[in-house]
Structure 1
């Protein structure tokens, strides 16, 4: 009886018949293995997306919703879609933006990507160097012509990226088990604000470039200025502390009690008694002291920084003090060595209800724009209304340019209450039309502190500040 042929010999005969080498078998096996692996990954990824789609959305996430929930930890609650991967931003020959290009999933895993740009696209990009689009995304020039920086720090940057990398950011866009870590609690035109915790459990405010914002030199320089001013203001009890900065993101002191705008608008409707006149005066002292500290960052008699966006939402209640924050729109003030005086600056877009006449006229500006805006905050504190809030902001500039002020009730203008009279007097000082005649923030802060001290030394102690 003939012995059976071993299976190895049978396979070798088949391969010989098919003229297939053993090395090719290994290659074919590897290809089959990779295909099966990628297919399984794709299926698991699609299942993950389906699970995300099951998360309920809330497209009307209001300030009240956020306050009640302690923040928003899932961006889909705000109506955001998943952010696409992008590989650049370029324009077509007919000057239409191609935008951020989304890549196929497999191509995203490649370490190198090839982008084919049609003929003529490169020339179109070069033309952007002289275009309005390029100018709008470029950093603001500093120092201006014929001026120099007042201080070296105005030209520098001190990033501390390691401090930010210690914060776990991988779950910021997902619903997390710990709802007190990673919540989206606020934001502005340029940045989103997240509640995060460091390794010790301490609450911090992480600010990142807004979710749908593009990187630009202008935005990067905004955040550089914000970090520099925050760092220089560390000694002031009236300014929010900074703990780390890297490119378009930074870590700040966190406040559980939200901002002054929320306190005025929301709490005034919830609590009929609102703040007493004395408490209003303490808040006015906080506001004036913060702006005064900013304007005397290097020299008590000469400003080197203007905030350029003073409004109630920029003051956060931390440890019973309303502290100033958000310096990303600030302007550094240079020095004219020929004329031996500070250099003014220009801002290309000044919307809103809280601005000074020279801002609406787009004239040369100084730190005195912050003083005029401070008067509008005082008005807001006394009346519980924004200046000219019944009007669309586009109609406000003409009124302010013509020297008109928002109306106040007689109960305020004719009041005999010492605290309310002090705030009213400070408001009229701040509303001085001519910026050269307008008193400094320090002058108004000292006036309010004097008035507070005369009313009660206990109130002065309660303010957490002292006479300068």
Structure 2
């Protein structure tokens, strides 16, 4: 008879089973065996037709940059009668020669990313998502990340260039103490949306300034 919490030997979908994916849940501690993903975590809402409508040859598509396993493109919105549809950002999986790029883990990360945005769609502090398909997501287009606002210099700087001697310190970004506190609070409020989700706490696990985006109004 298999124990109710014997996740390691449970043949169920491994992506619904932390006991298979993470060593911490294979612990012999009784408490660890009671930790399992929420039911909604295995949901999946792909809308692939939206992605097939984007023509990378003829549409107005602009390369934005890349992260560890994805690259981002700005897709210009279509003219619609008197108005214009907003731009969107398409994030697609990167291909890097000699590396294991298109594996299950990468697809799973993309699915979870899209799912979290779907679960928190009502929050003004979470990026709006317009679609997800396999290794790609479509999200609202935003002007930039907090990193470039808070650190508008090269990420490494020589000590001689700091100019922070005495009382005349140069903070490089021109932000006042009040503005820094307000920015920190906004970041904390966004994280609180994840940690306080009614369906169960959501852990980000990759927190840095580049993960937080600015809206057009700042």
Q: 1:264 aligns with which of 150, 153, 160?
A: 150
User: Which residue does the alignment assign to 1:182?
Assistant: 61
For the structure 1 residues 185 and 149, does the alpha-carbon distance in structure 2 shift closer, same or farther, using more than 3 Å as the test? same
Measured after TM superposition, the shift of residue 191 of structure 1 is 0.3
Pick from 166, 174, 195: which aligns with 1:295?
Answer: 195
Q: 2-side partners of 1:150 and 1:249: how far apart? A: 23
* C-alpha spacing 1:286/1:267, structure 2 compared with 1 (3 Å): farther
1:156 offset after TM fit, Å? 1.7
1:319 Cα deviation after fit: 3.2
Secondary structure of the corresponding residue to residue 274 of structure 1: coil
TM-score (norm 2): 0.69
- Please state whether the residue corresponding to 1:244 is helix, strand or coil: strand
Query: Is the 8 Å Cα contact of residues 192 and 211 (structure 1) preserved in structure 2?
Result: no
1:248 equivalent among 135, 143, 163: 135
SS in 1 for 2:65: strand
Query: How far apart are the structure 1 equivalents of 2:207 and 2:132?
Result: 22
Shift of 1:186: 1.6
Any residues of structure 2 matched to 1:33-432 within 5 Å, and which? 142-144=17-19, 146-147=33-34, 149-169=36-56, 171=57, 181-200=60-79, 201-212=85-96, 214-256=101-143, 258-266=144-152, 274-298=174-198, 303-320=200-217
Q: Distance in 1 between matches of 2:140 and 2:205?
A: 22
The answer to whether the 8 A contact 2:151-2:173 is kept is no
Is the CA contact (8 Å cut-off) linking 1:149 and 1:155 kept in structure 2?
Answer: no
Q: Counterparts of 1:286 and 1:166 in 2: how far apart (Å)?
A: 35
Please give the secondary structure, in 2, of the residue aligned with 1:298.
coil
Aligned CA RMSD, in angstroms, stands at 2.7
- Distance in 1 separating the partners of 2:36 and 2:111: 16
Maintained 8 Å contact 1:184/1:193 = yes
Q: Is the 8 A contact 1:267 1:274 kept in 2?
A: no
User: Structure 1 residues 272, 209: closer, same or farther in 2, change over 3 A?
Assistant: closer
Tell me the TM-score normalised to structure 1 length: 0.34
Determine if contact 2:16/2:37 at 8 Å carries over to the other structure.
no
What is the rounded CA distance, in whole Å, between the counterparts of 1:234 and 1:319 in structure 2? Answer: 18
Find the aligned partners of 2:117 and 2:61 in 1 and give their Cα distance. Answer: 23
Once residues 273 and 251 of structure 1 are traced to their aligned partners in structure 2, the CA distance between those partners, rounded to angstroms, is 31
From the two aligned structures, give the one with the greater strand fraction.
Answer: 2
Q: Secondary structure at the match of 2:89?
A: strand
Task: Name the SS of the counterpart of 2:55 in structure 1.
Answer: coil
Cα offset for 1:198? Answer: 3.6
- CA distance in structure 1 between the aligned counterparts of 2:74 and 2:171, rounded to whole angstroms: 27
Mapped contact 1:244–1:250 kept (Cα < 8 A): yes
Flag structure 1 segments of 5+ consecutive residues without an equivalent: 1-138, 322-468
Could you tell me how far 1:197 is from its partner in structure 2? 2.2
C-alpha distance in structure 2 between counterparts of 1:198 and 1:142, whole Å: 40
